[in-house]
Amino acid sequence: MQKKLLTLAVAGALGVPGMALAQTGVEVYGTINMSFGNVKYSGATAGTPSVSKWDVANNASNYGVRGRENLGGGLTGWYQIEQNAPMERSSNVAITPASRNSAVGMQGGFGNIFMGQWTTPWADLDSLWSVGTAGGWGPVTSIIGRRETTGTAPNPNCANTLPVPAAGAAVCDAVEAGGGVGHPFWRRLSNAVFYQSPVTGGMQFKLAYQTNEGKAITASTTSANPSMWSASAQWAGMGGAARIGVAIDRHKEFTILGGTDSGYAVKGGWNFGVADIGLALERNTYKQATSGDATVSQYGLAVAVPIGGNFIRGSYAKATDIKNVGGEQGAKMYNVGYEHRFSKRTQVGFGYAKIINEAGGAFIWSGLPSDATGVNNAGLAGQDVATFFVNMITRF
């Protein structure tokens, strides 16, 4: 009854008659993931002092609507619209409709094909290995898949060169102007079409292509023709105990004109019963106008130890310096925590996590409070960050 009422409420909010939506099987769903704890920032390379403060944090809480319709002939039509749910008084996260996985598609014996905005096949592989995080403070939200400075994806028709655009050059994205590298490999593709094969013998293939809708032409020449694709193959077997996946990405003209950034990832794990182990390796190559390719690596280890229906979880991850850029931009991260499950929907936990940045590294978890300036929460070069927390997750 409660879910039906929620469905009608969402239908009203969308301006669509509730009865019409109910006929296509609309489902309201979501995840509320919140933490309370202490966050400590060390002093940054530029001299920003240390600070310790308490915070209630929103760890990617979200809600959405989705539905499926039997079209006959073995075909199923489906859709999903999902957005962030900022559960704290914060300017970090805006409520933007369809800001998360949102698409319309068709599924059948051929697989699943859809279009819209969705996580990349590259990022989907994280589910194979990231078993070591309690709450939201882990490697997948800080180092693995997060090599680039986050923020709005750069406009390829601006001067997004490494490490910082030339003085006076056109810059459409302030994050890139601060030294971000390339288009983030972990980010959802938008303006994109996706294909997922059927699972056969535990094997599945995924492919995604982001169109070149950002193509621009001047009076005499093409200034940029950006597009990207992401592909993966993954396998699970032995009752799900063994799993492994590989991914390849190519991002055309998102860093410099005429250049294609690329990367590969290998991620997987094995559940031994007494412990579930996950491993990850990523390698990224970004094009530069001079000084050769900028290459980086990230790797991680995760472990989950069951205790009844509960878990002890821990992770370690490392990011290397950026080759051919200069300076020390690497970082290390570790976390450990305990998770108690009351049901399939509700769990609580507690833990400790820390990121240790090198002098030029600026890795951070998204959603943290501001540092000593009271303004910045995007990470400062050389600034370490640590948190101990209690966490609650519920799903509906």
Q: What token pair was written down for 303?
A: 């472990």
- Domain map (residue ranges) of the chain: 29-395
Complete DSSP assignment for 122-138: HHHGGGGT----STT-S
392 alpha-carbon distance from chain centroid: 20
Distance CA 234, CA 212 (A): 27
pLDDT at 113: 98
Chain segment 113-134, per-residue pLDDT in tens: 999 999 999 999 999 999 999 8
Which of 210, 162, 220 is closest to 185 using CA atoms? 210
**Rg (the chain; Cα; Å):** 22
pLDDT at 336: 98
Distance CA 65, CA 18 (A): 13
CATH topology of domain 29-395: Porin (2.40.160)
pLDDT at 275: 97
Residues of the chain predicted below pLDDT 50:
1-23, 149-166, 168-182
pLDDT at 345: 94
* Residue with tokens 């290390």, as numbered in its chain: 332
pLDDT at 21: 43
Which pTM was predicted? 0.83
In a 3-state reduction of DSSP, which class is residue 243? strand
